[in-house]
Amino acid sequence: MDPSTSQTPSPPTAVVEPRFLDAVETLPRPQLRALQEQRLLRMLRYAYERSALLRNNWQAAGVRPDDIRSIDDFKRLAPFTDKDQIRAFRDEHDDPFGGLLCIPPEEISFIASSSGTTGDPTLFTWRWGSSDGMDPQCPGIEAGTSNFWPNTPRDLWQMGVRAGDYVVLLANRIRGPVFRVLERLGTIPILLSYHPDDTHAFVEMSRRYRPAVLFTASNPFIYQLELLERDHGVDMREVFTSYKAVMFAGEPMGPRNRRLLEGWGLIGRIYNQTAFGDIAVAHECREHEGMHAHEDFALVELVDPQTGALIEGDGVGELCVTSLINDVDPLIRYRSGDMIRLTTEPCACGRSSARFWTVGRSGDEVVVDGRTVLPMDVWAAVENVDDTSAGLFQVIRTGRHMPALRMRVGYGGTPDLAAVQAQLVESVQRAVGLIAEIELVPYSELLKIGPRNKIPRTAKQ
């Protein structure tokens, strides 16, 4: 496909219909809490009987499901779990599911997994409903909900996606057949990959089918589009004319990429997607004021990452989640390692669920000269330098405390490296007040490290 040709003269412009919400999305918070409590108590009894890890942890803590009659009891008594515990259980018991699986293995339909940048990947196990492979079975609660991605149809619907719309899915197969979820909405998925060759196909398919959604763009993908625009004269405004939503995932979108996409006519149509504590993914709504944590699916808590103490009310802390509907591999009081800012203030969109902003991974911060630096803190500093504007970089982290801020930064083209280095040092110093040691490598070297849609933001060397 040649992306510079075959333009249609007047592409259809996206028309975003009024939003609609499920009744449960607007439940007043006291009623939402009552629903959570009812589901939580049922889930605890269900999972205690079936999940070996949960039983193990709770017996060690001397707690039984019968001891818990309310969310308050749960917060007071239930032991936490985390990825390390799951891995330890997996290794000790030679159980690939880490003691989480609540159904007989032969009932599994398929297993997806996380990117696995920090050890063996986390598994997401699905049981699918009907045998024709079209229809997901609800995990014990309501028909038509999958045990992973349960809120994705709801969120896409709010973005304005409707049956009959085409949805470009840039898919990593490892994350599971998300296209099946899209088909439940009556949309027609267009399957592409993050491979650079598929960037051309993306342009061609956008012109041919005029899709409503891109699910999901990433920093490297946007960089490839920028190259097409610059080197092949592709009019990206025209390519994106029909899009009601461009979803963005993998990592936070830097300010420069946001400006770029907005320049392509996507103001108000960029929707961030982020992990929701390994039990689902979360998305922004049309207000773009944080990711909605759909609390009818999950109980959300905030934890002090250092002390493990519960943080009451809104604030910043480690996201801790309990699945309320997943009957396959539910996570109960799972400390995600994601640092978030949480608010339960009502959203202007009308939903009553809490919203959050990811601040970083609790394992990503480095402390240099008493200053705490997360990759997000230096992101804009890297993007602001022309030759490193794709924002592809890593912070070197051999431990939490580092003698100096060390970074590996990707550059495009063949710039004067000494000059780029000097600009970066200055830019990073302005951002975090530290003089960074910077290693420059071509973009292509950094892109080899990850699964094409993102690169690990910290590196041990």
Partner 1 sequence: MIPTNHATPLKAPAGAPWIVGVAHFACGTLPYPLSRRDIERDSAWAVTVYERLGLQAGQMIHLIGDGAEEVSWWPFENAAMRLHIPWIQAESGAFDTSRTDMVIRRFKLQAILGLSTPVLDALLALGRDPRQFFGGLRAVVAAPAAARKLAALSVPAWTLLQIGPVFAFEPPAGGGARYDESEWRVDAIDGELALSSVNARAAPFAKLRSGLRGRVEIVDSERRVFLE
Q: Can residue 347 be called a binding residue for Zn ion (CB under 5 A)? A: yes
Rank residues 77 and 138 by Cβ distance to partner 1 and give the closer one: 138
Name which of Zn ion, partner 1, none residue 288 binds, using a CB cut-off of 5 to 8 Å depending on partner kind.
none
Closest alpha carbon to 189 in 207, 171, 166: 166
Least separation in angstroms between residue 431's CB and partner 1 is: 30
Sheet containing 437-442, strands listed edge to edge, beginning at the edge strand earlier in sequence: 437-442, 406-411, 393-396, 458-459
Spatial distance between the Cα atoms of 374 and 209, rounded to a whole number of angstroms = 40
Residues 288-327 that bind partner 1 (CB under 8 A): none
Closest to Zn ion by CB, 102 vs 349, is 349
Quick one: 159 or 446, whose CB is closer to Zn ion? 159
**Which among partner 1, Zn ion, none contacts residue 198 (Cβ within 5 to 8 A by kind)?**
partner 1
**Cβ-based nearer residue to Zn ion, 199 or 353:** 353
> Which of Zn ion, partner 1, none sits in contact with 285, Cβ below 5 to 8 A by type?
Zn ion
Beta strands in 257-314 (DSSP E): 270-275, 281-283, 291-293, 298-303, 310-311
- Residue type at 447 in one-letter notation: L
* Residue 189 binds: one of Zn ion, partner 1, none (C-beta under 5 to 8 A by kind): partner 1
Q: Which is nearer to Zn ion, 19 or 45 (CB)?
A: 19
Quick one: what does residue 347 bind among Zn ion, partner 1, none, with the CB cut-off 5 to 8 Å set by partner type? Zn ion
**Residue of 167, 285, 332, 396 that binds Zn ion (CB under 5 A):** 285
The smaller minimum CB distance to partner 1, of residues 248 and 356, is found at 248
Report if residue 138 touches partner 1, rule: CB under 8 A: no
Min separation Cβ 24 and partner 1, Å: 10
**Residue 188 is a binding residue for partner 1 (CB under 8 A):** yes
Q: List phi, psi (to 5°) of 422.
A: -65, -40
Instruction: Report the residue from 4, 28, 49, 116 that binds partner 1 according to the rule CB under 8 A.
Output: 116
Q: Does 348 bind partner 1 (CB under 8 A)?
A: no
Q: Is the Cβ of residue 334 or residue 356 nearer to Zn ion in the bound state?
A: 356
Question: Minimum Å distance from CB 417 to partner 1?
Answer: 26
- Preceding peptide of 187 cis, ω within 30°: no
> Which residue, 279 or 291, has its beta carbon nearer to Zn ion?
291
| DSSP-H helix ranges across 123-196 | 152-159, 178-184
Name the residue nearer to partner 1 (CB basis): 34 or 134: 134
Would strands 437-442 and 406-411 be described as parallel, antiparallel, or unpaired?
parallel
Q: Tell me how far, at minimum, the Cβ of 281 lies from partner 1, in Å.
A: 17
Report which of 358, 458, 449 is spatially closest to residue 400, judged by C-alpha positions: 458
How far is residue 221's CA from residue 193's CA, in Å, rounded to a whole number? Answer: 10
Instruction: Give the amino acid at 1.
Output: M
- 182 SS3 class: helix
The DSSP secondary-structure symbol of 81 reads E
Torsions phi, psi of 182, nearest 5? -65, -35
Q: How many Å is the Cα radius of gyration of the chain?
A: 23
H/E element holding 360? strand 354-361
Q: Hey, how many other C-beta atoms are within 10 angstroms of the C-beta on 90?
A: 18
Binding mask 422-461 toward partner 1 (x if CB under 8 A, else -) reads --------------------------xxxxx---------
Contact, 247 vs 213, CB < 8 A?
yes
Rounded to whole angstroms, the Cα distance separating 347 from 356 reads 11
Least gap, CB of 218 to partner 1 (angstroms): 12
Question: Minimum distance from CB of 26 to Zn ion (Å)?
Answer: 10
What is the smallest separation between the CB atom of 110 and partner 1, expressed in angstroms?
5
Cβ-based neighbour number of residue 413 at 10 Å: 8
Tokens of 111: 């297993």
Is residue 135 involved in binding partner 1 (CB under 8 A)? no
d(CA 56, CA 89): 9
Q: Which of 130, 118, 109 is nearest to 176 (CA)?
A: 109
- 349, 381, 396, 446: which one contacts Zn ion (CB under 5 A)? 349
Q: Are 184 and 152 a contacting pair, CB within 8 Å?
A: no
Q: From CA 138, how far away is CA 148, in angstroms rounded?
A: 10
Q: Which of 143, 370, 413, 461 touches partner 1 by CB under 8 A?
A: 143
Tell me which residues in 44-73 interact with partner 1 (CB under 8 A): none
The residue length of the chain stands at: 461
For binding to partner 1 (CB under 8 A), which residues are involved?
A: 1, 18, 20-23, 26, 90, 96, 105-106, 108-113, 116, 120-121, 123, 128, 131-133, 143-144, 153-154, 156-157, 163-164, 166, 170-174, 176-177, 179, 183-195, 197-198, 200-201, 204-205, 208-209, 448-452
Q: Where along the sequence are the contacts to Zn ion (CB under 5 A)?
A: 285, 287, 347, 349, 351
